[in-house]
Structure 1
Amino acid sequence: MPLVTKIKEYREKFKYKQSELADMVNARRETIVHLESGKYNPSLKLAMDIAKVFGVSVEELFEFTSD
């Protein structure tokens, strides 16, 4: 079941660079790039850390599709 992410949408809303978000969640910029493009699914901890940065729930940040 593919995971659809709203990370880029929230990141742009908060005006964070990919590298800034990566630093906030102790990840590499490349990880954020892969998350935004759908090439990588985050660990639960990373998903929770990113959601916390934006002040939203994990459910708001990620959606499952039926593909």
Structure 2
Amino acid sequence: MGGAYIYTNVNPTLHATHGFEVPVTPGVRLHSLLTVSLNNAGTIDHIVNDVGAPATPGPNGSNVSYLTEYPIP
């Protein structure tokens, strides 16, 4: 399992394009990934490269996005 998070208490408009970046080539596979937006601020747009839902600020201070497998079958 791998995880990436964004935490900011200075600028809530900050965006990370993705939590993980890997080459798009045969044989590259990832499993059980997540991204988290902490502190009700900051966004991670995708989990791996341009795949996966965004982790956006949540009303309870954290929001998690999960990706079971990359690339998606």
* Fold conserved between structures, TM > 0.5: no
- TM-score norm. by structure 1 comes to 0.25
Higher relative contact order (CA 8 A, sep 6+): 1
Answer 1 or 2: which has greater strand percent. Answer: 2
Larger Rg: 2
- TM-score norm. by structure 2 comes to 0.23
